[in-house]
Amino acid sequence: MAEVMAGFVCGFAMSIAVTPAIAVAIVRARTTSPLAARLAPEGTNLLALSVVINMFLVLTLTAIGLLFGLMLHGVEESNPEGGLGSPNRLFTAFILFTIVIAVLPLAIASARLRWPLVAFGLFFAATFAWFMPYLASWSPIEQ
């Protein structure tokens, strides 16, 4: 159960951390992107936009964290070996592989979004692949 709670906490923390960056990026991109102009037309309050983005990210990233927590719990029972700087090598390798598969094609295809995507991928990896297994191992919740 500690793994699931750690996934929830990591997803929630990540949603709070990335909300301001996404809101500012949408507001800045509305001059060049028709989609951003529709999402945040002129006169849109940045705080109101941040609230909407945060609600979406809280629901999405905590759900992803819960699923990763369930996966970590299953992997901990079957293969608890440490490695790659993490208490669970298999889980960390899976998360890193998933991030590379998700971010690499988008980063190659879009030169303008390359560095924000890479930064988000690295932050996602640090949060879920490394911090989450340590957070679960530090938990006072009975294993």
The Cα–Cα gap between 33 and 42 comes to 13
Query: Whose structure tokens read 């809101």?
Result: 23
| Amino acid type, 139 | S
The Cα–Cα gap between 33 and 128 comes to 31
The Cα–Cα gap between 103 and 26 comes to 19
- Could you report the per-residue pLDDT of 89-116, keeping only the tens digit for each? 888 999 999 999 999 999 999 888 889 8
Mean pLDDT of the chain: 89
pLDDT of residue 143: 53
The Cα–Cα gap between 128 and 65 comes to 8
Please give the chain's pLDDT, 143 residues, in tens.
Answer: 889 999 999 999 999 999 999 999 899 888 888 888 898 888 888 899 999 999 999 999 999 999 999 999 888 887 777 777 788 888 899 999 999 999 999 999 988 888 989 999 999 999 999 999 888 888 776 65
The model's pTM: 0.84
